[in-house]
A and B are shown apart, each in its own frame.
Chain A
Amino acid sequence: MLLKLDLGDARPLHEQVAGAIRRAVAEGECSPGDKLPPARELSRALGVNTNTVLRGLRALRDEGVLEFRRGRGITVAEDAGQRAELVDRVRQLIAEAARVGYSRNDLVDLIRGMP
């Protein structure tokens, strides 16, 4: 799989790592059920601390993009591609809302008010 880190990105490193893997899943780099390389391998490849990588991986598990299975390592979840894409768009929406002065709660209200 091909992973890309934006060198000009100001976000915390663990978010960048999560973003790189999310992007890879969304672009079909790995399919649902595929095993991810071990965190240590990812950390060596990306030049990032293993704990930082693990933090990024846990965030992706919480988003439902990855699954941690005992004995099987970390795998890409079912429907992870669509989900990763959706999560990515929501992130963009939150960033855009913040830019024009809307908080996350304002966004939630907006979504709830949608017909």
Chain B
Amino acid sequence: MNDSEPVGTGPATTPRPGAVRAGAAWAGAVWALGVLALLVTMPLVARDRLPDPVATHWNGSRPDGSMSVTSAALFPAGVWLALVLAAVVARRYWGGSASGLPAALLAGGGVLLIGAQASIVHANLGRSHWQDADSANLWVAVVMALTALASALACLATRRPQSALAGAGPAAREPVMDLPDVERVVWLSWAANPALQLTAALLGLGAVGTAVASGTGLTDPHWMLLLPLAALALGIGAVSSVRARVTAKGLVVGFGPLGWPRRSWSPAEIESARAEQRTAAQAGGFGYRVNRLGTTVMLRSGGCLVVRTRAGAEFAVSIDDAERGAALLNALADRADAGRT
């Protein structure tokens, strides 16, 4: 991230290698559950058309090993769970997701197991005995190639080069505000994107119009129009404005006109805070963005308040007066550290 320029901060130092993307864990969890569901359901759904036991191992083109259908459904699921566990351990102890290893394990392992399961089901489909199962040679070749491709792509997509990490900004707490003991100091700020607000309002108007038209009997209920319009209006409305406050309790960032939903961090959870200039292009567009910079709530290009949590995640929000918000947060984090020791 050499293209993002820290503001009012000292010289950049390399942050903890455990800095991870906030959304990566969720994507991994969804993938893990999806693969698990496929592995278990594939043989069970086709059970009526499979012999029991089914051929699960081949010597050349001749099947030489078998398993009951239930075992064939559960065994790969067990292997997959072990792989997921390995990926979690790799993420935790070997360089985090920045190394690309956990994603490669999950992507490659998932493709390999789904491919193997699909080839087993395909080779046994419509046979009365497992010894009559088809050859799986072609499937094996295709599955191996896809596995290698998926692993490589996942590794490249999540691995962050050292130069990018080095530019991620200082882990040191700068700037820091002088915080007198006799004063309660709070920082409030906000930002809005009028174009997003207008879009949300127009979509909301469309949703209300559709609801009224169908409610009064003018048209049939158009759920396929109403629901997406309402969901888009709410979603865009929620990220069209943002407000942040820093108090002794930490940082609270509220989204939308109601300040809800919101995210919050206590001073003890924050490793450091800084102000940084970011553009919408760097963040990947406007709205709630998750990419190699971490999570960015981008409403307008310019100053952003960036916090790095002790868990290694980075959260940025484009907001006015970010530098003083960061300075107060750093002072509060210092105070939390002093209280701990």
Chain A residues within CB distance 8 Å of chain B: 1-8, 37, 41-42, 44-47
Q: From A1, A6, A44, A47, give the contact of B183 (CB < 8 A).
A: A6
A–B complex contacts, Cβ < 8 Å, 28 sampled: A1-B187, A1-B188, A1-B189, A2-B185, A2-B186, A2-B187, A3-B185, A3-B187, A4-B183, A4-B184, A4-B185, A4-B186, A5-B184, A5-B185, A6-B182, A7-B182, A8-B182, A37-B188, A37-B190, A37-B245, A41-B188, A41-B243, A42-B188, A44-B245, A44-B247, A45-B186, A45-B245, A46-B184
Interface of chain A: mostly helix, strand, loop or mixed: mixed
The answer to the question of B334 belonging to the interface, with a C-beta cut-off of 8 Å to chain A, is no
> A residues within 8 A CB of B182?
6-8
Residues facing A in B240-262 (CB within 8 A) are 243, 245, 247, 252, 259
B324 pairs with A47, CB closer than 8 A: no
B247 pairs with A45, CB closer than 8 A: yes
Residues facing A in B207-253 (CB within 8 A) are 243, 245, 247, 252
Chain B residues within CB distance 8 Å of chain A: 182-190, 243, 245, 247, 252, 259, 321, 324, 328
Q: From A7, A8, A47, give the contact of B247 (CB < 8 A).
A: A47
> A residues within 8 A CB of B189?
1
B328 pairs with A2, CB closer than 8 A: yes
Closest 9 CB pairs of A and B: A5-B184, A45-B186, A45-B245, A37-B188, A4-B183, A3-B186, A4-B185, A2-B187, A7-B182
> B residues within 8 A CB of A7?
182-184
B321 pairs with A1, CB closer than 8 A: yes
B185 — nearest CB in chain A belongs to which residue?
Answer: A4
In the assembled complex, the Cα of A45 lies from the Cα of B186 at a distance in Å of: 6
> A residues within 8 A CB of B252?
44
For the complex with contacts A7-B184, A8-B182, A47-B184, 6 further pairs of A-B residues with Cβ separation under 8 Å are: A4-B183, A4-B186, A6-B182, A44-B247, A44-B252, A45-B186
B183 — nearest CB in chain A belongs to which residue?
Answer: A4
B254 — nearest CB in chain A belongs to which residue?
Answer: A41
> A residues within 8 A CB of B183?
4-7
B325 — nearest CB in chain A belongs to which residue?
Answer: A2
In the assembled complex, the Cα of A44 lies from the Cα of B324 at a distance in Å of: 19
> A residues within 8 A CB of B190?
37
> A residues within 8 A CB of B184?
4-5, 7, 46-47
A40 — nearest CB in chain B belongs to which residue?
Answer: B259
In the assembled complex, the Cα of A1 lies from the Cα of B321 at a distance in Å of: 7
> B residues within 8 A CB of A41?
188, 243, 245, 259
> A residues within 8 A CB of B243?
37, 41
> A residues within 8 A CB of B259?
41
